[in-house]
Amino acid sequence: MARPTPISGFPEWLPHERMIEQHILDTIRNTFELHGFAPVETRAVEPLDQLLRKGETDKEIYVLRRLQAEEDDSEESVGLGLHFDLTVPFARYVLENAGKLQFPLRRYQIQKVWRGERPQEGRFREFYQADIDVIGKDRLPFHYEVEMPLVVADALARLPIPPIRIQANNRKIAEGFYRGLGIEDVTGVLRAVDKLDKIGPEQVHTLLVEQIGCTDEQARACLALARISAEDGSFADRVHELGAKDELLDEGLEELTRVVEAAREHAPGLLVADLRIARGLDYYTGTVYETQLRGHESLGSICSGGRYDNLASTEDETYPGVGISIGVTRLVSRLLGQNLLTVSRKVPTCVLVALPNEEARADCYRIAAALRRRGIAAEVAPEAVKYGKQIRFAERRGIPYVWFPQGESGGQEVRDIRSGEQRPADPDTWTPPAEDLYPLVTATGQ
């Protein structure tokens, strides 16, 4: 068999890299639970009509069918696709289970998603997202839009990563402003402005004039709005100076001011009002967020989301929500690619039980089992070779301790192979220092 070649866009980490990713996932999960969010997991596939009605995603969806699918297969005849985010499946989940859920529902969801994008740094075809959402029945108080960025900031602050900056806008500001200018294709303008970071203001201006039908003056005003940013409520005055008037604009300015001022009170410097943030998906209706890693702005947003009022709705009931999603794989890829994180050992094992001879293997298994019962990761050496080779086996993997069933004193002993210190030990009572119990993930240089 020829050596297989990787498929681009589908990352597979080495074991020690996966340990770093798992540490990040666990930290995020634990933080979400500290804030009272409960876990949800949804299926990987959704009907295509559900996926296609929620935004400009038709070119990104992977279609799913069996190789030998029957023509009369009712489920596959409607078309199934792999979910491209976790918000659309969650909205469907809420509608299906509304009678069993308590509202407002605080949910977190950590799963893989799939997008048919062109792979490049920070963009993958298969990747982990970690989402939180609060969803209500018929109404959802505005204060949850203030809470979202603070929860995510807490989760990311617990990781050994560079600081973040959250950029916030409100879709009502943009829509009200465009209407105040007399622009009819609000959605088209939003999608064009969302491309500012990718293609620059000149090309966006061209899109607005040639494809959306804006006048030159309207296009200049849209770009002027997108240039406004501030860490306090002063951005609202700068918007008013541009001259557009609309009730929806005023409502959005008031809401974004509350978000910015609350973040400024709880975490100064964390959040900035940035009116170029648009978010391309159609379902956002209020506050929207994007998050950058300071010093790594070229990576783009590692965390995004916003308010959605109509994503989950029936003829009789509406379930408005607000959520934010961390692009875990995007974050991990940058941290690993630039060697910004390190793990203290390549395996979870804390103790390697040395094997004097094959006849002693059963006794060594019992020692390892005694350690595991007390939460100490242990494994038995693979071969009964000279102790020097068994110690080197542990060193190559970063395992800090080697356990000798028969030490120099005649009884059991444990050696810290970093310092060479060896002392008598009992597997029913011995405990390593806390910093050695689990692999430690730290920023490089710490």
Binding residues for L-histidine: 85-87, 115, 129, 133, 279, 283-284
Q: How many CA atoms lie within 13 A of 431 on its CB side?
A: 7
The length of the chain, given as a count of residues: 446
364, exposed or middle or buried, with CB in 10 Å at 0-12, 13-18, 19+? Answer: buried
Token pair 């070649």 is found at 5
Long-range contacts of 432-437 (CB under 8 A, 24+ apart): 432/350, 432/351, 432/376, 432/400, 432/401, 436/350, 436/400, 436/401, 437/350, 437/375, 437/376
Torsions phi, psi of 207, nearest 5? -60, -45
- d(CA 327, CA 310) in angstroms, rounded, equals 24
| Numbered residues of the known binding site | 85-87, 115, 129, 133, 279, 283-284
- d(CA 343, CA 355) in angstroms, rounded, equals 27
